[in-house]
Amino acid sequence: MKNNLEKILNQPSYWIEGINGVLYNAIIEFMEKNNFNRTQLAQNLGISKGRVSQILNDGEINFSIEKIVEISIKVGKYPVFELEDSKVYLKKLNDTKQFKSIRISNFNDYSTNLFEIGANTNKTRSFETFNHLKIAV
């Protein structure tokens, strides 16, 4: 039987939200570094100003893999992607005790704590702390 951590990691939405968070942070960093307004950002990324507003206001990314790669390169990042055996990955997480808790909100039906180890859920990390595409908290 799968534990809660495994159930979370087996949800595509967990990984998609992590990747979206990474891209969102890269876009924000690029915008701030270049002192771009939304129009300039849209022009540089090759997307509409309305789409930029969706990203910045709502965190609504949801791009195709091709577009994620394209935007990553435009903001000066290489989208490093790695597949790891699920059993090896779970063992690493359990061995290093990296997970204290996970709070996942605002996507699909997962709006509360899905996994919790320990008692303090105030120390959860959000997806905005990711700075590369190896997704783990």
pTM (2 decimals)? 0.68
CB 115 within 8 A of CB 9: no
State the number of CA atoms in the 13 A half-sphere of 126 facing the CB: 9
Structure-token pair, residue 8? 């979370």
- List pLDDT tens digits, range 26-36: 999 999 999 99
Provide the domain count of the chain.
1
Domain assignment of residue 129, given as a range: 1-137
- List pLDDT tens digits, range 37-95: 999 999 999 999 999 999 888 877 888 899 999 999 999 999 988 899 999 988 888 88
| Residue spans of alpha helices (H) in the chain | 4-9, 12-33, 38-45, 49-58, 65-74, 86-96
Structure-token pair, residue 19? 């990747």
Q: What is the pLDDT of residue 98?
A: 59
